[in-house]
A and B are shown apart, each in its own frame.
Chain A
Amino acid sequence: MGRTVAEVIRDTTRHHLTHNHGLFLGQCVTAVGWIGGTVPAMSEAEGIVELSLADVTNAGIAVGAALAGRRPIYTVRYQGFMWYNAAPIVNYAAKSKDVWGVPCPVFLRAIAMEGNGIGPVASASQHGLIMRMPGMPVCAPMSPNEWTEAWNWFMRHDDPLYVSEHRRSFTIDYEFENRIEPEADITLFPISAARLNAVEAAKALRQEGIICNIQHLMWLKPFTVTDEMRGSLSRTKLGLVIDSDFEIGGPSRSMAYDLMHQSGAPVFALGLEDRSAGVAESLDNPTPTPERIVRVIRQLVRSGRNVPAGATIE
């Protein structure tokens, strides 16, 4: 058994603080489970900095520490808090190199979480918030190797990096593989926690005779449409991007647009619904569930692809 994502994050962080003069910044780090076991039990003197609850300030502090060359790992415990944290990140860290030629490498771990009545406050992924502004690559690693790839990219470059994590990834100790089958009906492009749900949905659909190709998406920006993606779409002539962020004005639609233009095949989008989540389980607005994904794919495949591209499906 390999290491879990949480273990990889923890070990990498320890190494960064011990060997790179790095910093780790976050709120309420040293209590309540050390952020899902992703933070090494180290002291402030060793580089774990407990921040106050001033979110906008904190993001600014991370930016300043990056300008000072400390390559901080800045952790936003619930991705919904990015609405406060985004301002210094997109207006300074992401612009610094373009405007002044001064690198500002912040490794921003923004953690999505859902279920358990987390409701309207902090749930969901918010990577679309950052993707729409220039200057900051965005990825959503879900496996140990993917997280390491994100980290290595960060250490090889001098840009800030937005890492859209999902709590459901923390226990994952395996890698994902793209699935391509000659007789597939549709190509799925799932993101973040939607990848787990898409894999489940694909299993269920197979029993009904609907075959799904799966192209797992980890790099959201820049987003490269690979030959494999194009090849798969040219055969299935139908695609669906599934995301754990909101659908309207969100990454799933934006990426579906790229895929559609580069392949000529209709590619649809599925993400969070355009409504506030409630605390009661029945009122939640989670990452598209396997059941919802199954319903949508069934509709797309059975409708003979007559749904106009870009239309809201379901």
Chain B
Amino acid sequence: MKSELEQRTPAFGLISDVANTFSNDYARKLFAQTCFNHFFEFEVKKAYDRGLMKLPIYLSVGQEHIPAAIASVFADCLIFAQHRAHSVYLSFGGDPRQLIDELLSRPTGCARGMGGSASIHSPEIGMFGHSGLMGDQVPIAVGAALGAGKPVLTVMGDASAEEDYIYGALGFAVTKKLPVLFVCEDNDLSILTRTPVRRSWTLCGLAQGLGLPAVDITDDPWLIAHHVKQFSLQLPAVINIRTCRGLWHAGSGCDGPPEWDRFALIKDTMKMLGLERDALAIESDTERAVQNLWVEQLRKS
């Protein structure tokens, strides 16, 4: 019998037919944002591979649909993510041009070249930058919720969840009933070390022990949206999302196929919803649009 941590499948915690509880229009928008994030990351990879970026990059390939799903149902919040946050920034409406410029170390970048890939931010969308210290965004997010009195989203990784201050932050949020949605993008990796090597406990077990509502689920975007919607009415809450990092921790290399390919599975769901043709059109249109955006932005000096 596999330990709870090792139960990683594309169907973990899945609610059958959950996609059918959303409209087709919702599915198109969700898919369009997922495609935007997906193709954006591959353009980053291309530019990086051409040697245009002189900084470490943290790609969200394989996880790019998670923020798309969250943003589709959780808006008007402050956002505290960590280093792998291109898709968070894009999904919540961050200006892609400013992100490209940041990755190219231009003064017109969203952090004027100070942040690079890991520390992007956007005051326009209420997204605060990450310091590079894993997990420090979580207590900061809780403090922002205390100060601002409005919903706050914070995104961490499965490794960052182990930082001792996460426990304190969850505890304070539940004690003071602060409106924080804690999301863990659980790719089962701390750089290259798998979770069961590092710990025996689950984040949800910890959260539930503290009295927070929590779910542990696979990374199906409709499933994510379903839980985020429910939890947004009973914050603070924790969602641990088991997902697969498609490329290296930093840089653009690949160690082989992921445990599952969620982008392909999302297209299967679109087909199941009778949206196969829409999906094909959205995918090719978005790919072209993202490519054009990059060509244009790269042309600028």
Chain A residues engaging chain B, CB cutoff 8 angstroms: 23, 49, 51-52, 54, 56-70, 72, 87-88, 91-92, 95-96, 98-102
A146 and B114 alpha carbons, distance in the complex (Å): 35
Chain B nearest CB, measured from A102 CB (Å):
7
What is the count of residue pairs linking A and B with beta-carbon distances less than 8 angstroms? 115
Kindly identify, within residues 122 to 170 of chain B, every residue whose CB is under 8 Å from any CB belonging to chain A.
Answer: 123, 128-129, 131-133, 136, 138-148, 164-165, 167-169
A65 and B148 alpha carbons, distance in the complex (Å): 7
Is the beta-carbon distance between A67 and B168 smaller than 8 angstroms? no
What 13 additional pairs, Cβ within 8 angstroms, besides A58-B139, A64-B139, A64-B147? Answer: A54-B171, A57-B142, A57-B165, A61-B143, A61-B172, A64-B146, A65-B143, A67-B144, A68-B146, A70-B147, A98-B114, A99-B114, A100-B121
Is the beta-carbon distance between A88 and B136 smaller than 8 angstroms? yes
Is the beta-carbon distance between B112 and A101 smaller than 8 angstroms? yes
Is the beta-carbon distance between A54 and B136 smaller than 8 angstroms? no
Is the beta-carbon distance between B147 and A91 smaller than 8 angstroms? no
**Chain B positions within 8 Å of A67 at CB level:** 128, 140, 143-144, 147
A87 and B168 alpha carbons, distance in the complex (Å): 15
Closest 5 CB pairs of A and B: A64-B143, A60-B139, A54-B168, A57-B168, A68-B147
11 A-B contact pairs sorted by A residue (CB < 8 Å): A54-B165, A60-B139, A60-B169, A63-B143, A65-B146, A66-B147, A69-B148, A70-B147, A99-B131, A100-B129, A102-B123
Partner of A61, one of B111, B146, B148: B146
Is the beta-carbon distance between A64 and B145 smaller than 8 angstroms? yes
Is the beta-carbon distance between B146 and A49 smaller than 8 angstroms? yes
Chain B nearest CB, measured from A133 CB (Å):
12
Is the beta-carbon distance between B131 and A57 smaller than 8 angstroms? no
A244 and B152 alpha carbons, distance in the complex (Å): 41
Residue of B nearest to A59 (CB): B139
Chain B nearest CB, measured from A235 CB (Å):
46
Is the beta-carbon distance between A99 and B146 smaller than 8 angstroms? no
A205 and B165 alpha carbons, distance in the complex (Å): 50
Asked if B24 is an interface residue, CB under 8 A from chain A, the answer is no
Chain A nearest CB, measured from B106 CB (Å):
15
Chain B residues engaging chain A, CB cutoff 8 angstroms: 78, 80, 111-112, 114-115, 119, 121, 123, 128-129, 131-133, 136, 138-148, 164-165, 167-169, 171-172, 175-176
Q: Known contacts being A99-B114, A102-B129, is A56 close to B165, with CB within 8 Å? A: yes
Query: Which of B119, B123, B131 counts the most A-chain CB atoms under 10 A from its CB?
Result: B131
Is the beta-carbon distance between A64 and B112 smaller than 8 angstroms? no
A88 and B139 alpha carbons, distance in the complex (Å): 9
Partner of B139, one of A23, A61, A68: A61
Is the beta-carbon distance between A65 and B144 smaller than 8 angstroms? yes
Q: Known contacts being A64-B141, A88-B140, is A99 close to B115, with CB within 8 Å? A: yes
